[in-house]
C-alpha cells in the first residue's frame, strides 16, 4: 500500500511501508527517507478511534435505511389491500358480473393482492437477511469497540504516567549526576592538595562515593 501526495516545494511524495520517497521536480532525483517508530511514525489512536466511529455511524445508517424500507414495503402492501377492499364491487343478482369489463376490472383488483404479497416478500427478506444481521453486527461491533477503546484509553493513561515518571527520574538522575561530578572534582582537588589532611581526603572520598551511589540508584 502507498500514500501519494504533492506540494509545490518538494514535488511528488509517496509513502511505501516504512519509507518515504520524495521526488523533487526541480532536480528530478528521488530521495528515500526511512520512517522510524517514535521519530516520524507515531500511534494514530485518535484517527483510528474517529475512523471506527464513522464506521459504526455508517452501519447504523444502513440499518435505519433498511428498517425504513421494510416499513414502506409493508405500508404499501397494506395500502394496496385497502384499495382493493375499497373498490371491490358489490355482488349483484343481474348478469353484469358476466360483462367483460367487469371481469377485467375484477382481474385488476385481484392483481393487487399479488403485488401486495410481492412487497411483503421483499419486506420479509430484508428483515431476515439484512436488517437482523446489520443490527447484530452493529451491536457486536459497538461492544467490541467500547471494550477496545476502554483498554486503549487505559494504556494511554498508563503511558502518560510512565512519561511523567520517566521525566521525573531523568531530572533526578541529572541532578544526582551533577552532584556526583561536583563531588568527584572536589575529591580530586582535595587529593591533589599537599596541605590537605588524611581526614579531609577520606571525607571527600566518602562524599564522592555516596554521590555516585545516589546517581546509580
Task: Give 9 or 102, the one with higher predicted confidence.
Answer: 102
Q: What is the pLDDT of residues 26-81, one digit of tens each?
A: 444 444 456 666 565 567 788 888 889 999 999 999 999 999 999 999 999 999 99
Contact 16, 2 (CB under 8 A): yes
The yes-or-no verdict on residue 102 having pLDDT over 50 is yes
> What is the pLDDT at residue 93?
60
The yes-or-no verdict on residue 13 having pLDDT over 70 is no
Q: What is the pLDDT of residues 153-169, one digit of tens each?
A: 898 899 889 999 999 98
Task: Give 1 or 121, the one with higher predicted confidence.
Answer: 121
Give me 183's grid cell.
563531588
Rank 95-109, 129-143, 172-186, 191-205 by mean pLDDT and report only the highest: 129-143
Q: Which residues contact 21 (CB under 8 A, 6 or more apart)?
A: 13, 14, 15, 30, 31, 32, 33
Nearest to 85 by CA among 103, 110, 61, 64: 110
Give me 151's grid cell.
483498554
> What is the pLDDT at residue 116?
96
> What is the pLDDT at residue 141?
93
Average pLDDT over the chain reads 81
Q: What is the pLDDT of residues 122-136, one digit of tens each?
A: 999 999 999 999 999
> What is the pLDDT at residue 17?
44
DSSP string, 145-207: HHHHHHHHHHHHHHHHHHHHHHHHHHHHHHHHHHHHHHHHHHHHHHHH-TT--HHHHHHHHHH
* pLDDT classification of 139: cutoffs 50, 70, 90: very high
Task: Give 180 or 37, the one with higher predicted confidence.
Answer: 180
Ordered strands of the 11-16 beta sheet:
2-7, 11-16, 19-23, 30-34
Amino acid at each position: 500500500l502507498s500514500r501519494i501526495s504533492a506540494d509545490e516545494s518538494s514535488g511528488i511524495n509517496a509513502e511505501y511501508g516504512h519509507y518515504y520517497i520524495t521526488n523533487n521536480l526541480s532536480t528530478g532525483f528521488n530521495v528515500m527517507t526511512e520512517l522510524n517508530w517514535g521519530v516520524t511514525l507515531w500511534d494514530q489512536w485518535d484517527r483510528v478511534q474517529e475512523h471506527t466511529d464513522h464506521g459504526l455511524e455508517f452501519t447504523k445508517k444502513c440499518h435505519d435505511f433498511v428498517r425504513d424500507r421494510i416499513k414502506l414495503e409493508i405500508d404499501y402492501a397494506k395500502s394496496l389491500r385497502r384499495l382493493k377492499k375499497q373498490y371491490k364491487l358489490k355482488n349483484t343478482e343481474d348478469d353484469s358480473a358476466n360483462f367483460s369489463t367487469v371481469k377485467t376490472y375484477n382481474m385488476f383488483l385481484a392483481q393487487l393482492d399479488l403485488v401486495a404479497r410481492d412487497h411483503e416478500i421483499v419486506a420479509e427478506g430484508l428483515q431476515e437477511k439484512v436488517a437482523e444481521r446489520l443490527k447484530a453486527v452493529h451491536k457486536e461491533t459497538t461492544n467490541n469497540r467500547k471494550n477496545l477503546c476502554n483498554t486503549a484509553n487505559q494504556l494511554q493513561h498508563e503511558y502518560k504516567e510512565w512519561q511523567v515518571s520517566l521525566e521525573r527520574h531523568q531530572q533526578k538522575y541529572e541532578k544526582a549526576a551533577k552532584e556526583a561530578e561536583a563531588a568527584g572534582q572536589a575529591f580530586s582537588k582535595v587529593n591533589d592538595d599537599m596541605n590537605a589532611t588524611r581526614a579531609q581526603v577520606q571525607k571527600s572520598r566518602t562524599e564522592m562515593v555516596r554521590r555516585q551511589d545516589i546517581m546509580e540508584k
